[in-house]
Chains A and B, each alone.
Chain A
Amino acid sequence: MQLIFSLIQQMSVFMVIAYLFTKSPAFKPLTGESISRQQKIILYFVFTAFSIMGTYFGMPVSDAIANTRAIGAVLAGLIGGPVLGGAVGFTAGLHRYSLGGFTAFSCSISTTVEGLIGGLFHLYLMRQSGVRDLFNPRIALLATFIAESLQMMIILLLAKPYSEAWSLVKVIAVPMTLANSIGAALFISIMRDQKRMVDNVGAIFSAKALKVAEKTLGILDHGFNSETASRLVDIIQKETGVGAVSITDCEKVLAFSGIGADHHAGKPLTSNYALQAISQRKVFYADGVHEPFKCPHSSTCPLGSALVVPLIADKDVLGTIILFEPKTKLFLKNNRSLGEGLASLLSEQLLRSRFEDQKSMLTRSELKLVQAQVNPHFLFNTLNTVIAIIEQDALRAKDLLFHLSNFFRKNLKRENDLATLAEEMDHVNSYLTIERARFEDRLVVETDIDPQLLEVQMPTFTLQPIIENAIKHGIANMFGPGIILVRAEREEDLIRITIEDNAGTYCRKLEGGGLGMNLVDKRIKNLYGDQFGVSAHCVEGEKTQISITLPEGGRK
């Protein structure tokens, strides 16, 4: 009976050490999903130490030692597999052997076997349910129970003389089996709790990061300026709970939120950290302990630590994001990785908004180019037509000049993005009137437009390039009379505008793309989405049909 208490006492000491172990860096390998070779070596030393400690804490019982050596060996096997278990068992066994006594040999063998039994459980569990059940106290209890029972048998088999072995086992079997099994179970349960805590902290931080990511999404689409930056810092400071957050460009603080906002906001960048982070594209960290953050603006600034992460888009440093904590608070390691994560998230968003900017700039300049391209030839032809008719029909010449003027006025005004169908048709109508004067009976234009659709909106300069193609590449290239048909109709949940000519002479050019139609298509898709846009249907020598689809109502 006394032996049981003594063993329980031993076990308690053991548990305290186990608890300390779970708080130490040596426990870190066990918080992950898998254990590397290097980590296994650390575990080997840790568990061997436990096992040997079990021997030392043991009570001498008739030339043998009642002990808790088994816990280290079995758990090493259970957590790390048969190799680790065997190695720990063998080492601890060797140590036990060195202490002597009539059970020295049997105990050293049995400890190795106990480590291997833990290893067998590991293999079985990994195959059944994976790493989760390794930290199940019941299984640890069962494994240690079996291992200890086996040890008793081994002592009976190997220890000489048998009579002494028998009388020893009678005394130690129950207390040792119980103490070791319960000890192993408790040990595992302490480790499991610690592991869960680490997981939870990780989960809380992941959730924080996700929340920030979600809330900040799209803000930078409106550009990188003090307005968007101040929205970002507010969100980040609120969600992460750090002392203060700041976003800077390469020259000044764009926005600042939290402690010290009174003397940081809008200041030019003067701290070495920010300037170095920008010039060296590196993270700078003043942890407040080894290296205190010194505020460049105020000597009474309560901020004591800072993490500066550069924001990099497409190889250019655009600015930094800075996380601060006051002097009274430690800068959490997790907040550090959170800060770096946020910076890469924002960098990603900056890159995307930059790309969008360039894309729309490209579209705008392409549009300008198309507008510029059309004009000289058209203007030239029109002037020649006017010169040709001005003597015999001055009124008609004047009318043509009015249309020409209208056409260019519309061209000039087309900076803003949207036009109604009525405006587009007005533009096109001037164009067609002039072209009809040039081609006379070789060009017939028919329109069939549902008057209800006249207010439908589309990107400016949508119809004109297509009509122009129909004339330049269609009607102008055929012998017979050319007919252009412009039709606008409602079709289920969309609006279709069709421009058809009876030439069928530019099928191949259409396939090759270009002709300014890609641009029209791109602008419609940018505005309304990919399901809308321009499509072409061409029958060689018969007709070319260009179809523009827009959403019902012309608005999203």
Chain B
Amino acid sequence: MIRTLIIDDEPNARRELEKLLNKTGRFNIVGQCGNAVEGVKAINKERPDVIFLDIQMPVIGGFEMLSMIDREIMPQVVFVTAYDEFAIRAFEEKTLDYLLKPVRLERLEMTLEKLQQQIQTEVHPEYETERLTRIPCVKGGNIKLIAPEAVEYAFTDQSGAHLMVDGEVFNTDLTLKALEERSELIRCHRKCLVNIHKVDQIIPGESGTADIKTVSGFTVPVSRRHLKDLKRLVGI
């Protein structure tokens, strides 16, 4: 069974697709999401084999959502769209397949064939994705979009990934890996990324580690592994 996630903002469309997928008997639907933020969260959690992704969704569309997922867990992507067959053809190469709404069962079975071949290779697909221009964050139940340039540093703890922006901490469903891959935030520690433009000074510590002092006076740890690269980046 193929572990499947449906991401579409229209409930009727999700139900319709769910029904079709079930008819083939080959898909195991592990979740359904109504927007991109929920989608990222579910992908990180469920690690599905394939996502059926709507292109037109509120605020963050399907293409942009892909840039929020780290490459290691990138599922196979089947775009589903109501319009713009021509626009989607430009991305044909970059996805496994695309389906036009309303989806017909015969067409879905073709997708299934392609999918089975891909999954057998056990290689994660390498989709070309855009750089991140905004990071969806949750604060007090509201979703806020933050520009990567505004982030001072990012870190993870048991509760997930967080961003430090203007002295405030925001939670995000994106992984540090995704942020590292698609933004200018630099890895300085297993659990930390830092914005190189917000570094005030690097203070050497014990046994090849160091501490970064950010422009706002926060301390960010630097592990021995990343110190060299960091120094090279700041030109020391």
Contact = CB atoms under 8 A, between A and B. Distances in A.
Interface residues of A, number: 22
A440 B32 CA distance: 15
Interface string A381-405: 1011101110110000000000000
A389 B59 contact: no
Contacts of B10: 385, 388, 438-440
Given A385-B12, A479-B37, 5 more contacts: A387-B16, A388-B13, A440-B12, A477-B59, A478-B59
A123 interface: no
6 contacts: A377-B83, A384-B12, A384-B13, A437-B12, A438-B10, A479-B37
A388 B12 contact: yes
B59 A479 contact: yes
Nearest to A390: B16
A437 B10 CA distance: 9
B15 interface: yes
Contacts of A392: 15
Interface string A192-228: 0000000000000000000000000000000000000
Contacts, number: 45
Q: Which among B11, B59, B143 has the greatest number of chain A C-beta atoms within 10 A?
A: B11
B143 to A, nearest CB: 5
A392 B19 CA distance: 10
A527 interface: no
Contacts of A442: 9, 34
Given A440-B11, A442-B9, A381 B58 contact: no
Interface in B14-31: 15-16, 19
A384 B58 contact: no
A479 B58 contact: yes
A520 B37 CA distance: 37
B58 A476 contact: yes
A384 B59 contact: no
Nearest to A385: B12
A388 B15 contact: yes
Contacts of A385: 10, 12
B16 A388 contact: yes
Interface string B56-98: 0011000000000000000000000011000000000000000
A479 B35 contact: yes
Given A380-B82, A384-B102, A438 B58 contact: no
Contact of A387 (B11, B102, B142): B102
Contacts of B83: 377, 380
B89 to A, nearest CB: 18
Of all A-B residue pairs in the complex, the 5 with the closest CB atoms, nearest first, are A388-B12, A388-B16, A387-B102, A440-B11, A479-B143
Contacts of A387: 16, 102
Contacts of B12: 384-385, 388-389, 437-438, 440
Interface in A274-309: none
A171 to B, nearest CB: 115
A389 B102 CA distance: 12
Nearest to B14: A388
B101 interface: yes
A437 B15 CA distance: 13
Nearest to B141: A480
Interface string B25-63: 000000000110100000000000000000000110000
A429 to B, nearest CB: 20
Contacts of A476: 58
A441 B12 CA distance: 11
Nearest to A439: B10
B116 to A, nearest CB: 26
Interface in A455-491: 476-480
A128 to B, nearest CB: 79
A381 B59 CA distance: 19
A209 to B, nearest CB: 63
A388 B11 CA distance: 9
Contacts of A477: 58-59
B195 to A, nearest CB: 25
Interface in B169-186: none
A458 to B, nearest CB: 31
Contacts of A377: 83
A384 B11 contact: no
A383 B102 CA distance: 9
Nearest to A440: B11
A383 B16 CA distance: 13
Contacts of B82: 380-381, 384
* Residue of A380, A441, A479 with most chain B CB atoms under a 10 A cut-off: A479
A278 B117 CA distance: 81
A479 B61 CA distance: 12
Contacts of A441: 11
A388, A440, A480: which has the most chain B beta carbons within 10 Å? A388
Contacts of B15: 388-389, 392
Nearest to B144: A541
A477 B102 CA distance: 22
Contacts of A438: 10, 12
A79 B37 CA distance: 95
Contacts of B59: 477-479
Nearest to A477: B58
Nearest to B57: A476
A8 to B, nearest CB: 107
Interface string A74-90: 00000000000000000
A476 B61 CA distance: 11
Interface in A427-461: 437-442
A378 B214 CA distance: 51
Nearest to B9: A442
Interface in B154-168: none
A255 B85 CA distance: 61
Nearest to B11: A440
Contacts of B9: 442
Contacts of A389: 12, 15
A546 to B, nearest CB: 20
Interface string A404-436: 000000000000000000000000000000000
A480 B83 CA distance: 24
Nearest to B136: A479
Contacts of A437: 12
Nearest to B102: A387
